[in-house]
Amino acid sequence: MLGGFSKNMIKQQNLVGSVKGTPGIHLGAAMNFKPLRKSSKFSLEKQSALITRGYTQTIGSFKHEASLAYITSTLLAKYSFRFLSIQNGFSYEVLADASGPQFEAKYSEFDISWISGINLFENRRAGIYFHYFLGLKPVYNYYMFDKLGNFIEEIHDVKNRSLLFGIKVRITEIYDEK
């Protein structure tokens, strides 16, 4: 799997500034399993990948840019048609690296996303895929203070919303002879 993101982080709450996603890349591998011998159309796909995501948050004239790298473990249920497959499942993502100013912020060490997607040209050597990631938890945590510096509240902000696209190349196929 090799590809890139279009938009990839959006703001959960409209409390402080605005957030725009920045493009990222991903590289990974996937394996298909057919748990039901009678159904050639249903399979499970296990994916692992390194995914980069980022965003720019603007608060007045101040810009906060962040780039995050995740190691992901994804399990998708897949239903295949002739040239297309539909996929749904979950991704567990562990934060491998965070760059950019922290400013009393803490990035969550993991993220969980619901994924829906399609693969085009599923039965050929190379295919195209599109996956939509819907982050289920905030990835950015920070604190609000009043004008005197007193703590007001902890804010859990910025959820992952990503459109992942790329090319998947089939290297080999392993069949169960039973």
Number of domains in the chain: 1
Rounded to the nearest 10 degrees, how much is the dihedral formed by the CA atoms of 122, 71, 8, 17? 170
Q: What does pLDDT average to over the chain?
A: 79
Q: How far is CA 67 from the centre of its chain?
A: 13
pLDDT of 108 > 90? The answer is no
pLDDT in tens, 65-88: 778 889 999 999 999 888 899 999
Asked if 5 contacts 24 with a C-beta cutoff of 8 angstroms, the reply is: yes
Does residue 177 lie in a domain region?
no
78 or 61: which carries more pLDDT confidence? 78
Does residue 51 lie in a domain region?
yes
Does residue 176 lie in a domain region?
no
Does residue 178 lie in a domain region?
no
The residue range of the domain holding 12 is 2-169
pLDDT in tens, 22-60: 788 888 888 888 877 777 788 899 999 998 888 777 777
Does residue 86 lie in a domain region?
yes
d(CA 84, CA 116): 14
> Residue 16: which CATH number?
2.40.160
Does residue 75 lie in a domain region?
yes
d(CA 4, CA 26): 6
In the block, tokens 């996937």 appear at 30
Give one DSSP letter per residue of 57-123, joined into a string: EEETTEEEEEEEEEEEEEEEEEEE-SSEEEEEEEEEEEEEEEES--TT-EE-SEEEEEEEEEEESTT
SS3 156: strand
- pLDDT of amino acid 144: 73
Does residue 93 lie in a domain region?
yes
d(CA 139, CA 100): 14
The pTM score is 0.76
Write the CB contacts of 114 (distance below 8 Å, at least 6 apart in sequence).
88, 89, 90, 133, 134, 136
C-alpha dist (Å) from residue 57 to 13, 90, 95, 143: 12, 27, 19, 15
Partners of residue 19 on adjacent β-strands: 57
Does residue 122 lie in a domain region?
yes
